[in-house]
Amino acid sequence: MLNSSNLPGTPSLDQLKIFLTVVDSGSFVGAGRLLGRATSAISYGIANLELQLGVLLFDRNATRKPKLTEAGKALLAEARSVSLSVDTLRARIKGLLQGLETEVSLAVEVLFSTERLVDALRAFEAQFPTVTLRLHIEALGGVSELVQTGRAGIGISGPLHGNYADITAIQVGTLDLIPVAAPQHPMAHGGKPRDHVQLVLSDRSKLTEGQDFGVLGLKTWRLGDLGSKYALLLAGVGWGNMPEPMVRADIRAGRLIQLKLPEWDGGVLPFHAIHRTDAPPGPAASWLIERFVSQARR
C-alpha cells in the first residue's frame, strides 16, 4: 500500500540511484546487472521508493519493460538533479582532501590569443569540473596588479616592466603586434604617424601608469577596450597596433592594411604566466599554467 500521508517520506540516495538506473537501462534486470544486484533487490528498492513518495513511478502492466508513469516522469529531472548535486559534492570533498583548490582566479592580458585562452579553459573544465574559475581581462600592467594584490592567483601577462621581485614568471609564448589602418585612412597612403590619431590601449593600473608602448603619434585616443579599438580601426577612425592573429583575416580581405613604418614596423610581445612567489599555485592552477606552456611549445 502506498504512503497515504499528506507528506511524502524522504527517499534515500540509494533508492534514487536504483530509480535512475532502471530508467537508463530500460529494465529491472538491466539495472540489477549494472548495479551488481539481484533483480528482486531492484524491484524491492523501487517498491520501497514508491511507498516512501506515495506515488507509482512505473507502470508495470503496460509493457514488459517498466514504463514511467506521469508522476515518474515529473520526478525524473529532480532525481537526476539530486544525484548530480551529490556527485559534485563528493568530488569537491575529494578534491579538498587532495589539496585541490575550490576556485582559481585568472587574470589575462587583453592582447593574449583568444584561441589559446579558450583551448586552455575548455581543457581545464574537463580536467577539474568541481573547481570554479574567476576570469579577469586586463590591459598592460593590470594583470600584474591583480596578481600582486592577491585579487588573482595567477596571470597571463605581457612584458613585465619595473621591479617584480615578488613575482615568479614563466614564459608562455609571444605575439606579433603590427600597425594597421583602414584602406581609406591617410596612413594607408603614406601618411605620417605624427599627423594622425593613434588609437592606444589605456592602462588602468598604477604599476605602469604613464608608460607608453609602441606609441608614435602626437595625437592619441586612449581606449580601455580592445574591441572598441578594433571597431574604430575598421571604420577608418585612427590607426594603431593590433595582434596579428586578430586582424589577419581583415588584412587578407582588404578591410585593413598592414602599415610599413620606418619608425616602427611592429614588434614581438612576450607573455608570461605569473604568480606571487609567496603564494604558489595549487594543483588546478599549476595544471592551467602548464597548459599555456605546452601551447607555446606546440
Which grid cell is 277? 612567489
Instruction: Provide CATH 1.10.10.10 ranges for the chain.
Output: 13-97
Instruction: Check whether 218 has a pLDDT greater than 70.
Output: yes
Residues in a beta bridge with 270 = 174
How far is residue 288 from each of residues 126, 129, 154, 175, 188, measured CA to CA in Å? Answer: 12, 13, 9, 19, 41
**Mind listing the pLDDT tens digit for each residue in 107-117?**
999 999 999 99
How far is residue 176 from each of residues 83, 203, 234, 244, 266, measured CA to CA in Å? Answer: 48, 20, 19, 6, 7
Domain 104-298, CATH 3.40.190.290 — does that match? yes
CATH T-level topology, domain 13-97: Arc Repressor Mutant, subunit A (1.10.10)
pLDDT score recorded for residue 2 = 55
d(CA 201, CA 220): 10
Yes or no: say if 77 and 86 are a contact pair by the CB < 8 Å rule: no
pLDDT score recorded for residue 1 = 45
Specify the range with the lowest mean pLDDT, choosing from 60-64, 126-130, 132-136, 168-172: 60-64
Instruction: Check whether 167 has a pLDDT greater than 80.
Output: yes
How far is residue 143 from each of residues 58, 140, 210, 229, 290, measured CA to CA in Å? Answer: 57, 7, 16, 19, 18
Instruction: Check whether 233 has a pLDDT greater than 60.
Output: yes
Instruction: Provide CATH 3.40.190.290 ranges for the chain.
Output: 104-298
Q: Which residue has the cell 535512475?
A: 20
d(CA 93, CA 97): 6
d(CA 55, CA 62): 17
288: left (phi over 0), alpha (psi -120 to 50) or beta: alpha
For residues 130-144, give the mean pLDDT. Answer: 90
Rg over alpha carbons for the chain, rounded to the nearest Å, is: 29
d(CA 240, CA 96): 47
**Mind listing the pLDDT tens digit for each residue in 62-115?**
556 788 999 889 888 888 888 877 776 775 666 566 678 889 999 999 999 999
pTM: predicted TM-score of the whole model, two decimal places: 0.61
pLDDT score recorded for residue 63 = 59
Q: How do strand 58-59 and strand 67-68 relate by DSSP bridges?
A: antiparallel
The count of other CB atoms within 10 Å of the CB of residue 295 is 16
**Structural element, H or E, at residue 31:** helix 28-35
Q: Taking all residues of the chain, what is their mean pLDDT, rounded to a whole number?
A: 86
How far is residue 128 from each of residues 72, 118, 280, measured CA to CA in Å? Answer: 33, 15, 18
